[in-house]
Each structure stands twice: as C-alpha cells, then as structure tokens.
C-alpha cells in the first residue's frame, strides 16, 4: 500500500517505469464496447497477461468480492471501463441507478487499486461531465463552471467523482492514475437495445428494421428480433422470431419503426461528436502505456489562488475527434448507408438533450494521439458488423 502523505504539490510528480508486456493488467468491463476494444488493442501490442471477469464472475458493486479479487490477482495496472450506461431515455427514468451504481463501482475498484499498490490506473469517464451550456469546443477546464444537463446529471456527477478520485489520490499519495473522458462512442459490440442504447446504434437498428418492413423482408425482421427480442417497457408485449406479424408491427411501431417511416426522438438539431470505439481503445492504451500524471500536469495551465496555492485540477483528458455533425445529418447518413426508402420523421415532443457537445482535444493532441476514422467510414463499419452478427447468430 502506498501511504506516503504527499502535501507539497509544487514537488514534481515522477515519471514512472512503463508497463512491460508481461505486466498483469486488469480490464474492468472487458466485455463491453470500450473494454473489449481495449483488450484487443493490448493483445495486438503483445500484452498477454490480461485479466477480465464477467459480471457473473465478479460483481463490482460488491466491495467484499472486489477486495477478494484484488487480493488474489494483484494486478500491476487497472483499466476501469466498467460502468452503468444508457441513452437519454434510460438516464431520465433510472436516475438513482446511474449515480448509485457508478459511484459504487468506482469506489470499490479505485479504492482497492490504491490499497494494493497498483502502478497505473486508467479511468474512463464521459464528456457528459461538462455543463449543459459549456463553451464550444469544451476544454477540460470548463468542468464545474455551470449547471449540468438535467437529463444525465446523476451519471455525470458519478463520473466527476471518479475523475476527482484519481486526481486526489495522485495529489495526496503520488499515485499515477489517468482519467480520460471520451465523446460519444460507437463500434463493435455496441448495444442495439431499442430503449437503452446510445443514439447512433439505436438509429442503425431502427432504420434497418424499417427498411426490412418497407421491403417486406420478414425473414430479415425475424432474424433481427430473434437475436434481440423487443419488449414494450412495463407491459407484457414482447416479440421475437416466432411472434405474429401483427404483434411485431405493433411493438416496433411503439419505437417509431413502421414500413413507411422511422420516427426519432427530438428535433434532430443537437450537434454530436462520434468516435469509433476501437480508436477510443487506441487512445486509452496510448495513455495507459505512454502518459504519466506528470505529463498531464506539464500539459495543463493552472492558476495560483489568493492563498498562493497552485490549483492542480482538471487533469483529465478529453478523447474525441474535435469534429461534429447534427443528429439529423447522422440519421440521413445512416439512411443512405442502409438504403431505406421511407421517410425520416422527428418527434419534437421528446427531449433533445444537450444541444452542443464538442470536445476540445488540444491536450490529447499534445500528448501524442490523433483520430483517423471519420464518421462515414465508421457508420459503414458498424452497419457491416451489425449485419454480420445477425447472419452468424442465425446460422448458429
């Protein structure tokens, strides 16, 4: 355990010995969108000593189980990619779940990492930590400068607590914990649930199902919902591959999916930045292997307050593309990619969420990483992955 009481913030933070390919790295959330991509990225770089546990194997909400895991495994490094996440509808309806579960996961994993002397920890947050009306593009130092967007406030507060835990352990105990804040992510192993997924995969599935209905391709519809059955929340209405056409049409219409049109939430006006998940993984691994807390400090500007104390804060790193497009433009790109011939409609009675949400990625660029996959290529890749998954599972 590292119990050195670090009180002099003016003392330079040491650069650490890097993680060798034999280092044991625990990836919390290794089956998820980002965690699985980080796992694969490390494997491709020659890191074989990776540890991952499914939720059934290790409940990160259970502090006793987490302690026992760290006692047994003694990892050299930790990537905290596990989180309780969802789209705007889920954030609105399950506010307590989002703040409680994420705080608990972070408390358990970061706390045990410190107690067990983990050399390096990478914490993954989200750019929803920033104010609802943050300056555009959003720099790291606009954190906590004005109110959060209401819809995802509980989740954002949990993630702010996580990055502040990392920052505070570094300042007090000289640890080497890095916090990265990714923009909206999409990619392989994404969640395509019609209610709880993020905007881009949800639009892909909705528009794909509408295309199949529009073309009368009931075999494709049944393959899709056979793999991912659809339920209307708080009802007994559930459809799968064996359901009647009448029931399938009724349930899909509830989610705005008909042969003639797809209806999406809001106005389509909000601007969003999207990052391919495998690129997020590459940026994360870059930070894990090549960036120390000292590097972040050196690439940040800090104020000295009226008491003469240098305020070392906002040491997290935005990860994104620095480019944005409207939700409507994104939906139109998906329509073109999928080839849907019906109408795209918008339900303005539903919330839009934050209107502007573009990352300032200057710090990330200074630390040596840039994105390469643009949105058109990403949409094509994700749609191809989605179709391949339906075919493989159907054949299996």
Please count the residues of the chain.
Answer: 396
Q: How far apart are CA 337 and CA 321, in angstroms?
A: 21
What is the β-pairing status of strands 77-80 and 25-28?
parallel
**CA dihedral of residues 357, 361, 364, 366 (deg, nearest 10):** -170
Burial 137-168 (b: 16+ CB within 10 A, else e): bbbbbbbeeeebbebbbbbbbbbbbbbbbbbe
The CA distance from 230 to 146, in Å, is: 39
Question: Which is catalytic among the residues 26, 47, 130, 155?
Answer: 155
Neighbouring CB atoms inside 10 A of 366's CB total 14
Assess whether 155 carries a catalytic annotation: yes
* Coil/strand/helix, residue 59: coil
CA distance 179 to 1: 21
User: Measured between alpha carbons, how far is residue 141 from residues 100, 124, 131 in Å?
Assistant: 26, 17, 11
In angstroms, the CA 276 to CA 394 distance is 26
Q: Are strands 230-231 and 238-239 parallel, antiparallel or unpaired?
A: antiparallel
Give yes or no for a contact between 212 and 224, defined as CB atoms under 8 angstroms apart.
yes
d(CA 328, CA 326): 5
C-alpha span between 147 and 133 (Å, rounded): 8
Residue-by-residue DSSP string for 249-305: HHHHHHTTB-SSEEEEES-S--EE-EEEHHHHHHHHHHHHHH--HHHHHHTS---B-
> Which positions are annotated as active-site residues?
155
């Amino acid at each position: 355990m590292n119990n050195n009481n670090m009180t002099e913030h003016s003392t330079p933070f040491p650069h650490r010995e890097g993680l060798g390919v034999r280092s044991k790295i625990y990836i919390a959330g290794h089956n998820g969108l980002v965690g699985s991509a980080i796992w694969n990225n490390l494997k491709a770089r020659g890191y074989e000593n990776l540890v991952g546990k499914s939720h059934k194997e290790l409940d990160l909400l259970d502090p006793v189980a987490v302690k026992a895991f760290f006692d047994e495994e003694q990892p050299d490094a930790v990537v905290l990619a596990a989180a309780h996440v969802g789209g705007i509808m889920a954030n609105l309806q399950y506010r307590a779940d989002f703040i409680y579960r994420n705080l608990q996961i972070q408390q358990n994993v970061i706390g045990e990492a410190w107690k067990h002397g983990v050399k390096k920890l990478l914490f993954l947050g989200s750019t929803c930590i920033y104010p609802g009306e943050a300056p555009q593009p959003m720099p790291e130092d606009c954190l906590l400068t004005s109110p959060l967007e209401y819809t995802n406030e509980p989740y954002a507060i949990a993630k702010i607590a996580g990055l502040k835990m990392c920052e505070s352990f570094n300042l007090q105990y000289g640890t080497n914990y890095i916090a990265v804040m990714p923009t909206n992510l999409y990619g392989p192993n994404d969640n395509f649930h019609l209610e709880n997924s993020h905007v881009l995969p949800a639009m892909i599935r909705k528009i794909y199902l509408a295309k199949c209905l529009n073309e009368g391709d009931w075999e494709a519809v049944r393959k899709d919902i056979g793999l991912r059955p659809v339920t209307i929340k708080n009802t007994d209405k559930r459809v799968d591959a064996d359901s009647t056409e009448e029931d399938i049409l009724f349930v899909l219409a509830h989610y705005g999916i008909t042969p003639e049109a797809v209806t999406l939430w809001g106005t389509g006006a909000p601007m969003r930045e999207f990052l391919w998940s495998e690129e997020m993984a590459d940026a994360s691994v870059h930070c894990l292997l090549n960036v120390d807390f000292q590097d972040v400090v050196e690439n940040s500007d800090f104020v000295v307050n009226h008491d003469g104390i240098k305020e070392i804060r906002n040491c997290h790193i935005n990860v994104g593309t620095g480019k944005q497009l409207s939700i409507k433009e994104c939906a139109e790109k998906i329509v073109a990619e999928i080839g849907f011939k019906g109408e795209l409609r918008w339900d303005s009675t539903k919330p839009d969420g934050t209107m502007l949400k573009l990352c300032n990625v200057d710090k990330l660029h200074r630390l040596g990483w840039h994105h390469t996959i643009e949105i058109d290529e990403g949409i094509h890749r994700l749609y191809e992955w989605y179709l391949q998954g339906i075919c493989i599972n159907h054949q299996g």
